Amino acid sequence: MKIQRYTDYTLQNEMAEEFLNSFDKMVKESDGGTSYQKVAKKVISDLKLNVSLVATFGAGIGALYPVVQGLMENMNLDSFILTPESIVLLTLSSVTIAYLQEKKFKSAEEEDQLTKDSKSMLEELKMMGIGNGIVKKLIKSLTAVKNIFFTIAKHLGAAVGGVIDMFAYTALLIPVMNGIYYIIGKYDLNLETIVSNFIGLAIGVGTIIAKHGLVDLLRKLKSKIPGLNKEEVIDEIETPIIQKFGDMTYGDSESDQDGDLIKEQ
C-alpha cells in the first residue's frame, strides 16, 4: 500500500509539472483543419439558438472545443462518427446545461429560451447517435476541469463556485485549457477516465503551488504566455465578469448533475 501511495504521489506531481509547463502550448480552435467558430455559427443559425452565451463566453468556449474533441476521440467508440458539428453541439449543450443547473440565467425568459435550446441540441445529438449519457459524462468532465482551475484560481483570489464561473477569467482560463488539452493527449484521457485522473492532478497542482508559492505561479504564467501581463491577470480576477455565486460545488449528487434535461431514455 505504501508503494502504491508513493507511486500515486509521484504520478500526481509528474502530471502537475507537465500541466503547468504546457501553458504555452497554445491550442487553436482550428487545430485539426477545422474552424469551430464557423461551424458554431452555422449550427446556431440552423437550430435558431440563442447566441448570448457564445457572445459572452466566446473566448473560453473557443478554447473548450479542442478539449472536448480530445476527450471524444480518445473514447474510440464505433456507435457514432465524430464530426465538427457534433463537437460544437456537445460543447455548447454542456455549457448551456451547466449554465442552467448553476442558475446563472438572468430572467425566466432567458431560462425558458436556454431550456428550449438545450432540448434542441440534445435531440440533434441523438440523431447523430450521441445519447444523453455522453452529455452527462461531459458535464462531469467539465466539473473535473473546474476543480483544476479552482485549485489555481483560489490562490489568486478568484471566486469560482461552478463551471460557468471559469469563463469570467479569460486570461487565466486560456493557459489552463492549454494545459488540460496537453494532459488529455499525453495520457490518452477520455470521458471515462478524466474525473479520477484529474482528482490526482488537482492534488499535484496544489502541492506544487504550496511548495513554490504564488509568485512562482504568476511568473510561470507570464513567461509561458507571450504578452501576458501579471497585473492584468490579477485585475481580471479582482473584477470578474460574473460575481461570486457561492461556495457550493455543483454536481456532487447524481440528481443535481443529471438535471431534468438529460434523463436517460
Instruction: Report yes or no: 19 and 179 within 8 Å, Cβ to Cβ.
Output: yes
C-beta contacts of 37-43 below 8 A and 24+ residues apart: 37/62, 39/84, 39/85, 39/87, 39/88, 40/88, 40/92, 42/85, 43/85, 43/88, 43/89, 43/92
Q: What is the mean pLDDT of residues 190-213?
A: 86
Q: Report d(CA 176, CA 99) in Å as an integer.
A: 20
Q: Which pLDDT score, from 0 to 100, does residue 241 have? A: 41
Q: Calculate mean pLDDT across residues 71-76.
A: 92
Over 50: is that where the pLDDT of 252 sits? no
pLDDT category at 230 given cuts 50, 70, 90 is: low
Report d(CA 256, CA 144) in Å as an integer.
15
DSSP track, the chain: -HHHHHHHHHHHHHHHHHHHHTTTSPPPTTTTT--HHHHHHHHHHHHT---HHHHHSHHHHHHHHHHHHHHHHTT--SSS---HHHHHHHHHHHHHHHHHHTT--SSHHHHHHHHHHHHHHHHHHHHTT--HHHHHHHHHHHHHHHHHHHHHHGGGT----STGGGGG-HHHHHHHHHHHHHHHHHTT--TTTHHHHHHHHHHHHHHHHHHHHHHHHHHHHHHHSTT--HHHHHHHHHS-SS----SPPTT-SHHHHHTTTS---
The pLDDT tens digits for 166-178 are 998 888 888 889 8
pLDDT for the residue 191: 94
Q: If pLDDT is split at 50, 70 and 90, which confidence band does 93 have? A: very high
pLDDT tens track for 125-140: 999 999 999 999 999 9
Query: Does pLDDT of 67 surpass 70?
Result: yes
pLDDT tens profile 101-131: 999 888 999 999 999 999 999 999 999 999 9
3's CB contacts (< 8 A; 6+ apart) are: none
Cell triple for 149: 482551475
pLDDT-based confidence at residue 250 (cuts at 50, 70, 90): very low
Q: Coil, strand, or helix at residue 189?
A: coil
In angstroms, the CA 233 to CA 213 distance is: 16
Taking the C-alpha atoms of residue 169 and residue 242, their distance in angstroms, rounded to an integer, is 9
Which position has the higher pLDDT, 31 or 165?
Answer: 165
**Span 1-26, mean pLDDT?**
71
With cell 449550427, the residue in question is 43
> Is it the case that residue 205 has pLDDT exceeding 50?
yes
Instruction: Write out the three cell numbers for 51.
Output: 447566441
Residue 126 has a pLDDT of: 95
Sign of the Cα torsion 184, 171, 64, 30 reads negative
Average pLDDT in the 231-251 region? Answer: 46
